[in-house]
Chains A and B, each alone.
Chain A
Amino acid sequence: MKPKHQRLLLAVIAVFALLGAGLIAAAALREEASYFYTPTTLASANVAPGKAIRLGGMVQKGSIVRAADGVSITFTVQDKDKTQKVAYRGITPDLFVEGSGVVADGRLGPDGIFVADSLLAKHDENYVPKELADIDMNSAEHTKDTLSK
């Protein structure tokens, strides 16, 4: 190979490798990026069961039900207008309590129940899950009261 062409060849290889990386990333993102929904947006979006998504909102008061095995729970996530039932098996985060904010990673089951792999709860006073920062906690709190009436 002529030396002159070597630098060109290396540059071409590098460009192709980066294009390849972009394609791999785009393909994997299309399949694996998980979108964030609240119960309201989830109800209006047409999300296929089994597709990884995140669900955020408030844990409805009185909705946490523990199964006999001691490690499975179901609860309801609500926002202003809608609710969504969630099933989770595992150790719940420390600050996962009724009436507080939660973000669940998981997917919709065929029965319409959201199956969570992990839960992210409000951590401490300084930390709110990013996705919940925009949701007005007070109005959600308020809605809950009107709902329970």
Chain B
Amino acid sequence: MAEAGLAALWLAAAMALLQLVGGMTLLRGGAGQLVPLIKPAAYVQGALCAFAFLALMWLFYVTDLSVLLVASNSHIDKPLIFKLAGTWGNHEGSMLLWVSVLSVSGAAIALLEKRIESKTLNATLAVQAFIALGFFAFLLFASNPFERLVPAPVEGNGLNPLLQDVGLAFHPPTLYFGYVGLSIAFSFAVGALLTNQVGPAFARAMRPWVLAAWIFLTIGITAGSYWAYYELGWGGWWFWDPVENASLLPWLAATALLHSVSVLATRNALRAWTIMLALVAFAMSMAGTFLVRSGILTSVHAFAVDPERGSFILALMLLYTSLAFVIFALRIGSVKQGEPFQLISREGGIVANNIFLSVILAVVLIGTLYPLAAEAMGDKISVGPPYFNKATVPIAVLLMLALLIGPMLRWRRDDLKRLKYWLIGAAAILLWSGIAVWKFAPDIGLFPLLGIALSLALAVAAWLPLRGRKLLRTPLPIFGMVIAHFGIAISVFGMAAESGFSSETLTALAPGESAQVAGWHVKLDDVNPVVGDNWVAVEGQMHAVKNGNAFVLRPQSRQFFKPEMQTSEAALLTRWNGQLYAVIAQPDQEGDGRWQVRLWWKPFVSFIWYGGLLIAVGGIIALLGRMFRRTKKPAKNKWQTA
């Protein structure tokens, strides 16, 4: 099976090469006989990659320990779901997943895309194949997932226990779908640039891919944040870890691109701008892959890899992004300026959105790369939450302010006087909620206060674009926008409330003793050993009481064997207005029978992830709307011509 998988990879690489050569003859202007082969090659490449990935998954399913990758990442005693998830829970497998999703998406474009000219489509597929080719080379020469191990070991190494979590099994593929979706947007952009087709048709073809990529990234980031929150036991939901930033950077770029591509699709403006954002989004997803997979970072995400692979990925990243920017510089002159608009207009609002998002992106990128650059110069520097919070939150405040007005503006030109009632209303909500929060908690801090006030105003503003519309006849993408913006209000409210009002108690308790946090009376009843599939743990049994309501909490401190590692399983008690978060740790070394206990009360913290999900749901509704309209339109035309 391993050999068949490897052969499929080689053949798929050959197909990609065929597509690339076909694309080049196409651009030469020659009538090249290879051009008609581009589409079929894309289908075959997609099928071969899917086969290779399934082959690897099969090897993990049967735990074929004669395959090096299986032996070093799986274990005969591992639960089935984690055996399967082990397929992509390692360096080689995750890269194979990356390229498989890329190839299958290429086949899907070849099959489904009918809106753009066939020349542009073929150029797009050639670019896509060019990207895939780099990753095939990487897999085949630097990280072969199908390598055999002689002799085969008896039981295998196991998977990092932190990664043995159902939510996490699906976290990396979600982000990969996002990254790959952005690479497809990039292929479209370069394809359109090369064939002079930068216009609304191209934007409409690219939009679903951007939207889909953005939905996956949103879900991936939301899930990753929740995972870090409950699995690491540190009580935080965003650590500005470089690996988190690796997913945030493409998301910021995709969010900007998503907005500007709408302008290009509906208004035929912001052409060069949209192309630029598509290139940046792709560069960010490459940077994300590089940061996570090159081994340049030490974290649970970065599997130990040799420097050769890191350099390979870095070389690929530099090659693709620099080529892309060269093509941009050479061809952008041929892209004509789009339709003009006034600054106070929907387009203007979206430009503001793009600028603020780009500034946040630049600031996060600099903060993430600076330590790497400094290290190359011999300085050891770390850049943590103080930098990122200080540099990004004020810009996010401006972005939120723009969001209070932008979606209400009309295309092309508008007048703020038309919106004067809403402007007064928004100012009133901001003032009233700001003063109310300040009265209630004078020492909350400026940004949590602003966050709460802005999220309340946005919770109203988000719905205003529906005003005066007949709801049944409103296009789905408008509902999608409204829900996504409302999701931002919910999420920001959670972030602001959590960072402004959390309370924490850290203490050592013997069974029978209790502690207080934010009005909760928490008693440690008992501590008992428990046994799981591949771990043992001590489990604390706690009673949490507030206003006469009693709840049981069972935090654990787990010890895994393969590989050996200790993890903390936090106990979460979710109430409508927040979460009680309890962690238990090793006993007091002095031996007086006490256990370290950490308790947090985090007001409205779950709003952060509910908001994230709402944002994704908004995206899904918009995507459905686009697809629905796409299938409906040709039918209508047929009826008209008949």
Contacts and interface: CB of A to CB of B under 8 A. Distances in A.
A35 B379 contact: yes
A17 B359 contact: yes
Contact of B363 (A14, A24, A89): A24
B91 to A, nearest CB: 13
Contact of B596 (A10, A17, A91): A91
13 contacts: A6-B341, A14-B273, A17-B355, A18-B362, A22-B362, A29-B383, A35-B381, A36-B382, A52-B386, A71-B506, A91-B596, A125-B563, A129-B298
Q: Which 3 A-B pairs have the closest CB atoms?
A: A70-B508, A36-B380, A94-B566
Nearest to B568: A91
What interface size band does chain A fall in? 35 or more
A3 to B, nearest CB: 4
A91 B387 contact: no
Contacts of B341: 6
Given A91-B598, A130-B298, A1 B342 contact: yes
B355 A14 contact: yes
Most chain A beta-carbon neighbours within 10 Å: one of B304, B363, B564, B590 = B363
B359 A24 contact: yes
Contacts of B304: 126-127
Contact residues of B: prevailing secondary structure: mixed
A28 B391 contact: yes
Contacts of A14: 273, 355, 358
Given A13-B351, A66-B589, A89-B506, A22 B366 contact: yes
Contact of A6 (B337, B355, B589, B594): B337
A124 interface: yes
B340 interface: yes
Interface residues of B, number: 48
Contacts of B442: none
Contact of A21 (B363, B565, B585, B586): B363
Most chain B beta-carbon neighbours within 10 Å: one of A4, A36, A92 = A36
A62 interface: no
A33 interface: yes
Nearest to A28: B391
Contacts of A17: 355, 358-359
Contact of A25 (B337, B379, B384, B391): B391
A90 interface: yes
A13 B353 CA distance: 13
A128 B359 CA distance: 34
Nearest to A127: B298
Nearest to B587: A70
A34 B598 contact: no
A54 B382 CA distance: 8
A66 B367 contact: no
Nearest to A6: B340
Interface in B56-97: none
Given A3-B337, A70-B508, A70-B594, A131 B380 contact: yes
Contacts of B598: 90-91
B381 A36 contact: yes
A70 B588 contact: yes
